[in-house]
Amino acid sequence: HDKKRQYWLEGCGIDFIRFEAFAIFNQMDSVLKDLRNYVDANLIPGITLTQLERGVYNRNKCLFKDLLL
């Protein structure tokens, strides 16, 4: 059920980042660094998006990539 829900949500433009429980409880600095790297890599400089806009963007990144560079 979890994979079906994730697949559906990803279809709505929601990205997932999964971490093992061990990392959450024992390597939090590494988890936070990975999350920061993900956010930085997906940041659109100078633009703030609503959740809906972010979902549309995530589903269509290939269309927007050249426009935002």
Tens digit of each residue's pLDDT (9 = 90 or more) over 1-35: 788 888 888 887 788 899 999 999 999 999 999 99
Give the pLDDT mean for 34-54.
86
Q: Which residue did the predictor score with more confidence, 36 or 65? A: 36
pLDDT of residue 69: 54
Tell me how many degrees the CA angle 20-15-19 measures, rounded to the nearest 5: 5
